[in-house]
Structure 1
């Protein structure tokens, strides 16, 4: 283990959680008008929280609250104390912004060091990091964690499959860090290039995340590369990757409870779910300085158990995310809502808001098609005009939402209408998995 606290007695761990929760409550009440007003509306103060069970008295926080206070309205420190900013795309083009103090960065490095230690990483290892660098948290979160354990990090970032394969082979990478779908795609390309490609690589483990993963996909990755599979979970609003990770003894993910208090609620009623039953994951970071959020509703569906793991770690464990409480799509590790796509379409020339989103797989990679009806004023036989409209929309989707989508323009009134709620999403990935 990286830190002995990972095997703490539950009583000791809960004492740490309660102490840190009380500190966080005092912080947000004093420094965040948004939360202070919420507390006053509910008739509570931080002093009313005297046990961990009392957390149910606190208000929920949602992504909508972050967007309403864009960009820094929920920060509890001045920008002079913020050492890094990350963000994800927003519904109206404005991103969800998160900030980190030096203390926050130290915590992030700490939990990611635990992740890499679970994967067996030491100073002797070479980590190939295929997560994207930039405003998303994946690339840099992995980078700092690998450095924390002393491993050599190769900041390959995303894309450029053949080059990544070359780097992994020539540099002797022993651990890969990237999305599982891209790992399988790389395996397919490598296999085509050589009869026995596994002999060219020294990989022993992989750290995979950023997208929902079935047991079948995990097994395919294991078999394709002949490595241990470690799943990491996180989200930028809380810290980035590093909220939880699976070890060598179990596919369940250990939650780093000394930094994150988790709950499972009924996504409709908001009531607590019994241990072992699935519901929406709610997280309260306990040590965050720049952006401490209370009871953040992740929208992810999972379950938790307090049963200790054979590895010796005692922190509760969660199953892999099994779905979403809302209709968010995850395309190659990028979160996108239909409302975001609709916003792009609404600002485009020559099309209507009658559209359909089709998510599918091309091999092991996500594929997104958007079928959009053109307006009556557009002549469908004007090929150059249609091509210009299509390219403009594809460019807007890439620039605003960071997704590569295939746009198909169709005749007016050609998309089937529904008598009830419009069917905007066809996710063939789920259909294929169920079949």
Structure 2
């Protein structure tokens, strides 16, 4: 043993490591718009806490034509205006995977951290992915619900700003506002991709333009940037913007773990109480998303035979599109689709090209002749990450699993004797400071 190998590593645990800062503003827009639609409240969809119900609304639709002349007699029969009915029911669920915390794994972690601390760390690490899943599903549902413009078109291209210098063209926003005004709708919420982001930044620093217009007054509190809108349309040849009257749609959610259906142990902190009480083995409560404020149902189970906790969180939700409140052509629902020009790369003197992202490749490392199985892996250096698995792997599949367990940011697979992944660059590293790992693009 050398002096170099005689030293002992210190240990530091960072339980709140995954960033929570990606807000997904399509959710922020839907949640902010809820206060403007009081036609439906979330309590309308439950008989009591934890009891979900279908909602029937009786309403009088707008009368879109009137043939009165003033010569009629009110002694004669009139036109009966009858209410109509519309039904709403929450039908969507977004859920995390089922995660597991092993009691005896905590014995290997130094520091005064409880079981609940580690469970919260696992939730913190997975919550951004689950939140993105919810936002992606919500954006897709909004795109699917887009109605016709009042002139019968499915979409309209508008000018918002100059793609090369960021100068705002106010005609785009003015035209959106005019369309909503003429259609009888309220001041719209706007959710879109790059143009909305650049619009907001331009109004922050705006002043008088060449036409004498004060651009700083073009700012809107209800404009939201979320590139998931572009992704939902699946069309990279243009930028996409959704605008909606907040009174014409409503995001609603429902919690099963409420009222008599909730345990007195409510949140993930109660994992410690489960263990210390020596009898209780489950939790049915809620947990709040720190970014959106949404309450997710949280289910926790303790398997006392295998000394492990499993837990999952889920949200039942939907977006309800209201029946017409004003008279327009059929298919106009207050949710409109606008487009703008696609972003382009800055044009150099010799000319520019449209801005495109890089393309991914499949990379592979053939273990044949490189390693001999069984292989004891004391140290692994890969993708700039160093770990000490201290495990013996029997074959290439177990080596792949070891890579996945110790290297963050990549998903490795196996193709015969090769370990593969999909990415944008070739990885290199070492096993045990002796065996080189060198991935190359697959032919």
TM-score normalised by length of structure 2: 0.24
Please identify which structure carries the higher helix content: 1
Which entry has the higher C-alpha Rg, 1 or 2? 2
Q: Normalising by structure 1, what TM-score? A: 0.25
Which structure has more RCO (C-alpha within 8 Å, separation ≥ 6)? Answer: 2
